[in-house]
Amino acid sequence: MKKIIKLLIYGLLTIIPLIFVGIYYTACKLPSVYYVGINDEKNFSLDLFSVSSLSENKEESAQCLNTKSCFADHLETHCATLKFMNLIPIKKVDLIVSKKSEVIPCGTPFGVKLYTKGALVIGTSSVRCLEGFKEPWKSAGMQKGDIIIEANSEKVNNNNDLERIIQNSDGKEISFKVMRENNEFECQLVPLRSMEDGKFRIGIWVRDSSAGIGTLTFCEENRNVFAGLGHGICDIDTTELLPLSRGDIVEAIITDTVKGRPGMPGELKGCFINPESIGQIYANTETGLYGTFEKIPSNTNKIPVAMKQNVKKGSAKILTTIEGSNPELYDINIDSINYDTTIPTQNMKISVTDPRLLEKTGGIVQGMSGSPILQNGTLIGAVTHVFVNNPKKGYAIFSETMLTNSNILFESDYKNAS
């Protein structure tokens, strides 16, 4: 009996610290800043965590300064203690009391035309010249993913600019200004005359634009601002975010659907129906595309944007277009919620439950990214990814995150652009 009691004691002494470590690890992943509706600050809760010890913070804390533009009409800020099971204090958090912002959920397809900043190096090769096969790019230290922004002190706007400068060099050394992971450096190399076509080559493949079709998430009527995709557009060869110089959006329709199945993601196929721009893209970010409309779409039914702690597991609806240009609502389920801000495109795991959508698409397909998710009359997020081995399931991003980034970009890039 004594041995059993000792074992139980040892077991508890081992398990209890592990439980506390798990609790604190989970809490550390939770955000330190939250937006709450008016009169909601005292009812704030997050799964097994809740807040207490509210105190008004007249001078906003440092962690609030970069997020004050998320929701409209910021009223006041409270400092609070985040507690586990309303008992164990975990950490201090800030609750920003705000009026809820309203947006127009879209779910409509749109065409994307992106033009890169400079010429993006997407691959390297050898140049066959009189001396044999040479690699001029290697002596300059260039590599896949680099962005050539200047050549011989001349700005490189596209592939044609780079090609012209190389051919006009007449085989003399060229000085380049290159961007790599947000750091600039200069390098030099000598182009070689190719035995294949007689042109001067430096042994790199470059890209200056990209095009495709995605789904609009929401737009704001008062500022003609839009957000879409819920994730950034990456180059297919480098897998890095395309460095944006400028971009346009155009009208598009869905013409066909390839049904997804395990191991083989489906796809929405579409086409541009009018080459005329209906808006400009100002940012290609990890959390989506952001820009301004020439005019707001005809659908003007505005709904509130949910604050992340108001998103609940359970039934919801996805607004998406799988044929033509008219979106429809389909049933889904929010399986789990993740508040970790380091992986913003995976805030929710979702499952498609609507028999109509499952019959036509098999679940989530490529091109559906950005489709808004609605719950209890609010916009809670947007679809971002499909599970390749189970197309019925996928990830979604909080709409609060997209609204935050949209507002921050509007306050900076949009104003500067105008």
Domain that holds residue 166: 126-202
Domain co-membership, 90 together with 141: no
Contact (Cβ atoms closer than 8 angstroms) between residue 68 and residue 96: yes
Kindly name the residue from 231, 235, 248, 406 that is annotated as catalytic.
231
Domain co-membership, 259 together with 346: yes
Known active-site residue 369 = yes
Question: Which secondary-structure segment (H or E) carries 303?
Answer: strand 303-304
Token readout for 410 is 């509007």
Known active-site residue 98 = no
pLDDT at 62: 38
pLDDT at 165: 92
Domain co-membership, 251 together with 317: yes
pLDDT at 28: 61
pLDDT at 163: 92
Kindly name the residue from 94, 235, 248, 354 that is annotated as catalytic.
354
How far apart CA 109 and CA 268 sit, in angstroms, is 10
Known active-site residue 336 = no
pLDDT at 357: 95
Contact (Cβ atoms closer than 8 angstroms) between residue 212 and residue 222: no
How far apart CA 272 and CA 254 sit, in angstroms, is 9
Query: pLDDT, tens digit, for every residue of 153-211?
Result: 899 988 889 999 999 988 898 999 998 887 889 999 899 988 888 888 989 898 888 88
Contact (Cβ atoms closer than 8 angstroms) between residue 75 and residue 97: yes
Token readout for 308 is 């992340």
Domain count, the chain: 3
Domain co-membership, 137 together with 81: no
- Per DSSP, the three-state class of 65 is coil
How far apart CA 338 and CA 94 sit, in angstroms, is 19
Closest CA to 175 of 188, 164, 162: 188
- Per DSSP, the three-state class of 407 is helix
- Mean pLDDT, the chain cut into blocks of 10 residues (418 residues total): 58 52 56 73 64 52 44 66 71 78 91 87 87 87 89 89 91 90 88 88 87 90 88 81 84 91 89 87 91 73 89 95 92 92 90 95 93 96 94 95 86 53
Kindly name the residue from 98, 369, 371, 399 that is annotated as catalytic.
369
Provide the residue type at 228 as one letter: G
Question: CATH number, domain at 279?
Answer: 2.40.10.120
Quick one: the chain helix, strand, coil %, rounded to 5?
20, 50, 35
Domain co-membership, 24 together with 85: yes
Which letter, b or e, does each residue of 53-86 get, where b requires 16 or more Cβ atoms within 10 Å of its Cβ?
eeeebeeeeeebeebbbbbeebeebbbbebbbee
In a domain, 121, yes or no: no
Domain co-membership, 165 together with 271: no
Domain co-membership, 235 together with 369: yes
pLDDT at 85: 67
219 sits in the region (left: phi over 0; alpha: psi -120 to 50; else beta) called: beta
How far apart CA 348 and CA 375 sit, in angstroms, is 13
pLDDT at 67: 44
Strands 88-98 vs 225-228: parallel, antiparallel or unpaired = unpaired
